[in-house]
């Protein structure tokens, strides 16, 4: 069963003609910051009423020529029109195709402003010698580098032939060959039908380090050893996930560490997770992100949200699964800490969100789906699953989830389809769970689980008692430090801030999560000694999770806003287009 409802973020008409396979052939032209080549689409007509055109999504693509062919036939040129461009959706590409046509080949090039692509000059990389390119297709950015039906309701397989400068390596979300020689010509094949937002490409001075038989890391040479050490529990996590939810379907499971401008923590591109270098803390304390992206191999990549209003089906499930993996690998106390911090962060963010954005099944009419990326689909979604687990017991709920993943594997589903399945296979008439409230109302139901962590409770005690005196923090994990900082009073005097910094060197910490929390406190309390580090962090890191709250905190005062504007002037050229859109919105909101 595919999505029955039309996706409001796509112009495409899959209910009439559906794209089944993409064959991409392109040159990566660093000097012009464009991709140039062809996309050949295999299409299947769904109805025989007339001959509707094939409508594809595009954004800032330069379409040169479109050809069609019948099965095993030769290509012949056909007519196409590119519609007016919408700031959020891009422009529809309407292609005339004869009833018997099964293939459509589009000759095109991208624009240097393509919203999915970030072209890094050598100084923006770790090695400083070679340029770097990476894509971020989620949510609706695939259309800025490939003309296709850019909706998660349509799944397709793909093959690709990518040409790059000779000394660079290209990798894609398609099971890479770790032994591929560096020739400047690379071929890929994704055998499983995936939604367009999981098509991904990166090109750079990349090296590979194996971690297990099917796991390894790609990164720039100066980063790859460190990354392989940090992530060496990946195989263990993968085994834990398989024990819980059934076989891993994607062959290899590698990680790609990107330069710091990557706008997200991680992106679950199949067989090749893209990850931010900000999780390289040196002590594996931030590897929950690896567990999260692995969890997507079931929730998201295998069973996919059919529209962006159903995004919580991807992320809520994934946060729940992520914590089950962490519990299996690192023990229950670790899971409890993550869950407590998760709920805390959710409440903190929800307090600032308008009601419409606190709803799991979010209404995104007229909006960019990237606007819906808050903690709500993640943490509120995970709390709903936690509440199902608590109500029905782990054994029953685990069996339900396993069956859910099997039942809907390689399908894209809506919230409605999930609800029907849940009622039939788990709830069985049970009305203890206020499902409508969870899915369609703002805030949290009164019965929402309140995770507890003994470890963090002790930390909170210490934060309360902290007077500048020594406390025992020797073996504190990142999670304990975060909880400590969050438990301190929101307003602190300059002396208290200085004392904290002297005692624990927060301004100089190499741990991005702790630094983020500290910098927020520094802005709030005008702690000037941290300002140079704040600027350095905002200029060098482009991860939305960090930069968004910092800019938001800065603009609360006129003095902070002036500082934010000055910093952003330096930082903006180094940010990915997705991060630029976010920060532009904070510093110069559209009226």
Active site residue ranges: 293, 378
Q: C-beta of 292: minimal distance to Zn ion in Å?
A: 6
| Contacts (Cβ under 8 Å, ≥6 apart) of 152 | 7, 195, 196, 197, 304, 305, 306, 307, 308, 412
Would you state the structure tokens that stand for residue 246, as one six-digit string? 């059934």
Secondary structure (DSSP) of 119-161: EE-GGGSSSSSS-EEEE--TTTTGGGTS-B---TT-EEEEEEE
Q: C-beta of 314: minimal distance to Zn ion in Å?
A: 6
Q: What angle do CA 535, 292, 360 make, to 5 degrees?
A: 90
* CA gap 549, 14 in Å, rounded: 38
Of residues 143 through 202, those in contact with Zn ion by CB under 5 A are none
Which residue number, 12 or 318, has a Cβ lying nearer to Zn ion?
318
318 binds Zn ion (CB under 5 A): yes
Cα 520–chain centre separation: 23
299 binds Zn ion (CB under 5 A): no
The region of 233-241, 315-323, 433-441, 547-555 touching Zn ion under the rule CB under 5 A is 315-323
Tell me the three state secondary structure of residue 30. coil
Q: C-beta of 267: minimal distance to Zn ion in Å?
A: 8
Which residue number, 375 or 580, has a Cβ lying nearer to Zn ion?
375
Q: What track of x and - describes contact with Zn ion for positions 447 through 466 (by CB under 5 A)?
A: --------------------
Q: C-beta of 425: minimal distance to Zn ion in Å?
A: 24
- What is the number of other CB atoms lying within 10 angstroms of the CB of residue 193? 16
Angstrom distances, CA of residue 280 to CA of 60, 389, 472, 542: 35, 32, 25, 15
Q: C-beta of 264: minimal distance to Zn ion in Å?
A: 9
* CA gap 435, 441 in Å, rounded: 10
* CA gap 314, 343 in Å, rounded: 18
The region of 171-179, 301-309, 310-318, 539-547 touching Zn ion under the rule CB under 5 A is 310-318
137 binds Zn ion (CB under 5 A): no
Q: Mutual orientation of helices 558-571 and 544-554 as an angle, nearest 10°? A: 140
Which residue number, 299 or 453, has a Cβ lying nearer to Zn ion?
299
Q: Residue 230 region, left (φ>0) first, then alpha (ψ -120 to 50), else beta?
A: alpha
Of residues 396 through 425, those in contact with Zn ion by CB under 5 A are none
* CA gap 307, 6 in Å, rounded: 8
Q: What track of x and - describes contact with Zn ion for positions 217 through 236 (by CB under 5 A)?
A: --------------------
> Do you know the residue count of the chain?
591
The region of 6-14, 317-325, 396-404, 409-417 touching Zn ion under the rule CB under 5 A is 317-325
The region of 84-92, 138-146, 163-171, 308-316 touching Zn ion under the rule CB under 5 A is 308-316
- Which residue's beta carbon is nearest to the bound Zn ion? 318
The region of 12-20, 313-321, 407-415, 580-588 touching Zn ion under the rule CB under 5 A is 313-321
Which residue number, 114 or 313, has a Cβ lying nearer to Zn ion?
313
Which residue number, 322 or 336, has a Cβ lying nearer to Zn ion?
322
Q: C-beta of 401: minimal distance to Zn ion in Å?
A: 17
| Contacts (Cβ under 8 Å, ≥6 apart) of 253 | 214, 215, 234, 238, 271, 273, 294, 297
Q: C-beta of 384: minimal distance to Zn ion in Å?
A: 16
The residues that touch Zn ion, with contacts defined as CB under 5 A, are 315, 318
């Amino acid at each position: 069963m595919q999505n029955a409802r039309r996706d409001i973020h796509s112009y495409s008409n899959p209910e009439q003609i559906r794209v089944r396979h993409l064959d991409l052939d392109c040159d990566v032209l660093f000097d012009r910051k464009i991709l140039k080549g062809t996309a050949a689409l295999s299409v299947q007509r769904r109805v025989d009423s007339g001959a509707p055109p094939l409508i594809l999504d595009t954004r800032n693509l330069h379409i040169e020529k479109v050809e069609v062919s019948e099965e095993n036939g030769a290509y012949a040129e056909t007519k196409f029109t590119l519609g007016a461009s919408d700031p959020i959706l891009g422009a529809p590409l309407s292609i005339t195709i004869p009833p018997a046509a099964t293939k459509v080949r589009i000759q095109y090039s991208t624009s240097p402003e393509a919203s999915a692509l970030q072209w890094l000059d050598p100084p923006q990389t770790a090695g400083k010698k070679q340029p770097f390119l990476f894509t971020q297709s989620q949510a609706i950015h695939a259309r800025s580098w490939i003309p296709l039906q850019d909706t998660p309701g349509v799944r397709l397989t793909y093959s690709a032939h990518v040409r790059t400068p000779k000394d660079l390596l290209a990798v894609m979300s398609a099971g890479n060959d770790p032994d591929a020689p560096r020739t400047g010509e690379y071929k890929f094949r994704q055998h499983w039908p995936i939604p367009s937002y999981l098509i991904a490409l990166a090109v750079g001075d990349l090296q590979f380090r194996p971690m297990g038989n099917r796991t390894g890391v790609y990164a720039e040479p100066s980063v790859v050893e460190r990354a392989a050490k940090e992530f060496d529990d990946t195989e263990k996590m993968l085994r834990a996930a398989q024990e819980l939810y059934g076989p891993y379907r994607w062959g290899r499971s590698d990680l790609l560490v990107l330069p710091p401008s990557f706008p997200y923590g991680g992106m679950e591109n199949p067989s090749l997770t893209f990850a931010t270098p900000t999780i390289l803390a040196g002590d594996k304390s931030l590897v929950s992100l690896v567990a999260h992206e692995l969890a997507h191999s079931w929730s998201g990549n295998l069973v996919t949200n059919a529209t962006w209003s159903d995004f919580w089906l991807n992320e809520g499930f994934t946060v729940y699964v992520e914590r089950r993996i962490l519990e299996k690998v690192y023990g229950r106390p670790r899971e409890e800490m993550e869950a407590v911090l998760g709920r805390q962060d959710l409440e903190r963010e929800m307090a600032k969100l308008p009601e419409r954005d606190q709803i799991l099944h979010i209404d995104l009419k007229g909006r960019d789906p990237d606007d819906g990326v808050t903690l709500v689909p993640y943490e509120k979604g995970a709390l709903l699953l936690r509440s199902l687990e608590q109500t029905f017991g782990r054994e029953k709920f685990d069996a339900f989830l396993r069956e859910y993943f099997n039942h809907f594997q390689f399908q894209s589903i809506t919230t409605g389809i999930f609800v029907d399945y849940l009622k039939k296979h788990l709830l069985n008439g049970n009305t203890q769970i206020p499902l409508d409230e969870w899915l369609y109302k703002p805030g949290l139901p009164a019965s929402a689980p309140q995770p507890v962590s003994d470890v963090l409770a002790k930390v909170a005690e210490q934060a309360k008692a902290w007077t500048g005196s020594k406390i025992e923090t020797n073996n504190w994990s990142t999670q304990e430090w975060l909880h400590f900082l969050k438990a301190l009073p929101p307003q602190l005097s300059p002396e208290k801030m200085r004392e904290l910094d002297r005692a624990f060197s927060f301004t100089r910490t190499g741990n991005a999560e702790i630094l983020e929390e500290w910098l927020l406190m520094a802005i709030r309390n005008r702690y000037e000694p941290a300002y140079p580090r704040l600027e350095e962090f905002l200029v060098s890191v482009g991860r939305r999770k960090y930069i968004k709250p910092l800019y938001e905190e800065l603009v609360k005062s006129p003095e902070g806003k002036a500082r934010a504007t000055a910093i952003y002037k330096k930082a903006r050229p180094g940010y990915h287009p997705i991060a630029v859109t976010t920060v532009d919105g904070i510093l110069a909101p559209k009226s």
